[in-house]
């Protein structure tokens, strides 16, 4: 029986929430923030998914490190949003992102061993 790949599931869920959240940013005319958050926030999942068909362990780790860098950029945009706008979902997204970063860190550390 195949185990559920939690990081894949979480990354798809997070990307979907980012898509919805950036629509709300566009509604308040924050087009630049929406674009930046959309790009980095959905790129996390894209890189995690790409890592699943990596050519080697080194390639797998590299792709996950790229996902982690995109997560760090997403964190930056969410911090700006949290500090400058009163949008309910922003803090929830931050918590979800921190959880994804924690899982990515564990996978990267375990894969290096």
Please state the rounded mean pLDDT for residues 11-18: 97
Q: How confident is the model at residue 97 (pLDDT cuts 50, 70, 90)?
A: very high
CA distance 70 to 37: 10
Return the CATH number at 39: 1.20.1440.60
Q: Determine the Cα angle at 51 with ends 21 and 79, to 5°.
A: 30
25: containing domain: 6-112
Q: How confident is the model at residue 4 (pLDDT cuts 50, 70, 90)?
A: confident
Q: How confident is the model at residue 83 (pLDDT cuts 50, 70, 90)?
A: very high
Six-digit token string for 47? 């890189």
In a domain, residue 80? The reply is yes
In a domain, residue 1? The reply is no
The structural domain count of the chain equals: 1
CA distance 20 to 93: 11
pLDDT of 22 reads 96
% residues pLDDT > 90 (the chain):
90
Please state the rounded mean pLDDT for residues 78-103: 95
Burial of 12 (0-12, 13-18, 19+ CB in 10 A): middle
Q: Determine the Cα angle at 92 with ends 72 and 29, to 5°.
A: 80
Please state the rounded mean pLDDT for residues 31-42: 97
Q: Determine the Cα angle at 77 with ends 104 and 89, to 5°.
A: 85
């Amino acid at each position: 029986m195949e185990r559920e790949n939690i990081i894949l599931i979480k990354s798809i869920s997070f990307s979907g929430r980012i898509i919805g959240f950036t629509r709300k940013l566009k509604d308040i005319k924050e087009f630049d923030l929406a674009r930046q958050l959309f790009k980095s926030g959905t790129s996390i999942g894209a890189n995690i998914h790409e890592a699943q068909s990596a050519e080697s362990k080194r390639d797998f780790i590299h792709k996950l490190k790229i996902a982690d860098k995109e997560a760090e950029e997403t964190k930056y945009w969410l911090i700006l949003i949290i500090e400058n706008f009163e949008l309910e979902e922003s803090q929830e997204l931050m918590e979800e992102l921190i959880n994804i970063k924690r899982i990515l860190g564990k996978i990267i550390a375990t894969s290096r061993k």
